[in-house]
Amino acid sequence: MALLQIAEPGQSAAPHQHRLAAGIDLGTTNSLVATVRSTQAETLPDMEGRHILPSVVRYSSDNVEVGEAARLAAPSDPLNTISSAKRLIGRAIGDLKSIGDELPYEFISADSAVPRIRTVAGDVTPIEVSAEILKVLGQRAVDSLGGELSGVVITVPAYFDDAQRQATKDAARLAGLHVFRLLNEPTAAAVAYGLDRGADGVHAIYDLGGGTFDVSILRLNKGVFEVMATGGDSSLGGDDFDDAVAAWLLEQAGLSADVDRGTLRHVLDRARAAKEALAGSETVEVEIDLPQGGSWHGSLSREQLDSLIDLLIRKTINTCRRVLRDAGVSADEIEDVVMVGGSTRNLRVREKVAELFGREPLVDIDPDRVVAIGAAIQADVLAGNKPGDEMLLLDVNPLSLGVETMGGLTEKIIPRNTTIPVARAQEFTTFKDGQSAMAIHVVQGERELVADCRSLARFELRGIPPMVAGAARIRVTFAVDADGLLQVEAREQTSGVSASVEVKPSYGLTDDEVMDMLQASIDHAQGDMVARRLVEETVEARRVIEALTAALATDGDELLSTEERKVVDDALGNLAAIADQSKDPKIVEAAIKQLEKDCEFYVERRMNSGIRKAMAGHRVDEFASQEDPEAK
């Protein structure tokens, strides 16, 4: 007789057995893997004792190198050495201009929306590049722990959209890793700091990495981590600091910005080294090998570095202010500011952050390792090694999600900063008599008009039973899972017909969209509300016009004299003209009311006519007996 072992999902069938799990910080510049051993979270080193793995992959005809060896080969083999793939993942070819023209790669012109980079080993996508990095980190964990992993938690920027998150999961699948969940990087940092300190209260997580920036306001209370608000830029980080310094070095060395790719990678390396050296000194010497032979010698001071990167730092500070407003807290209510990401080692960054929040930021845990450590703690929980752990992570969706309604209006179903996972539903109806299909347009953004928001997906619900306008009940459900991925379903309630779509956009947010969508909603709030009301009144006017036109076609000649018909037609024409031309919602509203007043006598006649037809051939007491059985 066979016996079945039964265990709760995510928990080991043998309670004493520790399941192996890891947390991975897949970074733009550097990546790490960490795990929990003997109740302590720690990052795992490679065979040479190095914890940090440069996020660089070099392709050759018969080999793939990942990490430090690939990074060192970049200047001599720029076309086959891919770095900062995180900036490309989940994006379309059309988005590359928003990332910058400095990318020293050869992109393939193809019909595919996914960017493909030409290398000697063949064309590769950012997903495949990221998968190579994840393979190395996963194997490092297996070698260190002495067994196969049950799963991993991979961190992503809080501002990664659906496409970027899905692409990250695809990279992990390609690397042979089982993903417990994706975890926002600021939340991972909160796990690392909050659990260690038991720090209940409101905290800010300032995360400036190599290629992305996030800031989140979190409330920690009795083991519950709630993200109150989040914001950031998926194309702003230490790489941009390097670009600014490299541009200055090129100018100082008398070189043009369009130097060959090898020289550009060489100068970028020198720029990064100089930037990092200035964290511990006032001035650093720089030497650049010139393409025509010889070299250029110069120096870079901390003051000069500050002037080159101040504008970029100011962008992050402005985002911090906006997120504080979103969270409804002031800077002096923040108890701690946690610094995450290698770029927060920059002294100017720390100075500006301290200036904004009025306190020195926390740098107790290595800013390069804090995210990986938090991911490892969460992975240990999800692996079932701590079944009694009460830690709860509540992330939020950064932008509102909704659908397009009549007139091009946005109807928000899941507002921004809603805790995820979440499911919300709303009922809609048909606009025309006999309508048997409905187009569902899923949008993302804060503006009132669809034209000002970002289109995510479109699908159709067909098979709706023909009914009069407004009778059908279509329930649209939005469900966002713990990884921030969205599924939308539309279902007609009486017939049960349904259609759905999983939103995997073919492109990511551009820089301008990431930074400007929220600000635009604030700047245009008053104008958007006026525009929305105008559209609403115009849609209502057209509904009234359509209903009245249909009624006139049915019995207008029967119930109205020639003079009366002219009165109704004139009122109808007046409303149609105002609905087409007026830009004032109050005028449209007044015209609708005037039409209703002018046509009141016709509506009353139609009602009486309908009652007479319904009662034809019946006695009044028949209707009374139906309402009251005892009336007989």
DSSP string of 402-449, one letter each residue: EEEETTTEEEEEE-TT-EESEEEEEEE--SSTT--EEEEEEEESS-SB
State residue 392's pLDDT score.
52
Query: Domain extents for the chain?
Result: 21-237+309-395, 397-516, 526-615
pLDDT score of 408? 79
* pLDDT (tens digit per residue) in 456-477: 888 888 888 888 877 888 888 8
* Statement: residue 8 has pLDDT above 50: no
Average pLDDT over residues 176-188: 87
Q: Which residues pair with 461 in a beta bridge?
A: 438
Give the residue among 33, 45, 624 at the shortest CA–CA distance from 375: 33
Written as one letter, the residue type at 256 is S
Nearest-angstrom CA–CA distance, 561 and 620? 30
Prediction pTM value: 0.57
Active site residues: 25, 86, 185, 207
Tens-place pLDDT, residues 89-125: 887 766 665 554 556 677 776 555 677 888 888 888 8
Q: Which two tokens stand for residue 577?
A: 């003209």
In this predicted structure, the answer to whether residue 129 has a pLDDT above a threshold of 70 is yes
* Amino acid, res. 626: Q
Q: Which of 602, 583, 579 is nearest to 592 (CA)?
A: 579
41 vs 297: CA distance, rounded Å: 44
User: What strands lie across the sheet with 56-59, from one edge to the other?
Assistant: 64-66, 56-59, 81-83
442 and 410 Cβ atoms separated by less than 8 Å: no
Structure token digits, residue 326: 């979103």
Higher pLDDT, 264 or 93: 264
- Asked whether this chain's domains 21-237+309-395 and 526-615 adopt the same fold, the reply is no
Judged against a pLDDT cut of 60, whether residue 620 lies above it is answered with no
DSSP codes, 154-174: EEE-TT--HHHHHHHHHHHHH
- Strand locations in 62-200, DSSP E? 64-66, 81-83, 117-119, 122-124, 151-156, 179-184
Amino acid at 191: V
**Residue 482 near residue 395, CB atoms below 8 Å:** yes
Q: Which two tokens stand for residue 421?
A: 């996972």
Number of Cβ within a 10 Å radius of residue 431 = 16
Check if the beta carbon of residue 28 is closer than 8 Å to that of residue 211.
yes
For the domain with range 21-237+309-395, which CATH number is right: 1.10.4160.10, 3.30.420.40, 3.40.640.10, 3.40.50.1100?
A: 3.30.420.40
Lay out the sheet containing 498-503: strands in order across. Answer: 422-428, 474-480, 486-492, 498-503
- For strands 336-340 and 201-208, give the pairing: parallel
Q: Lowest-pLDDT range, 3-17, 40-54, 139-153, 239-253?
A: 3-17
Task: Return the CATH fold of 397-516.
Answer: Substrate Binding Domain Of DNAk; Chain A, domain 1 (2.60.34)
Class of domain 526-615: mainly alpha
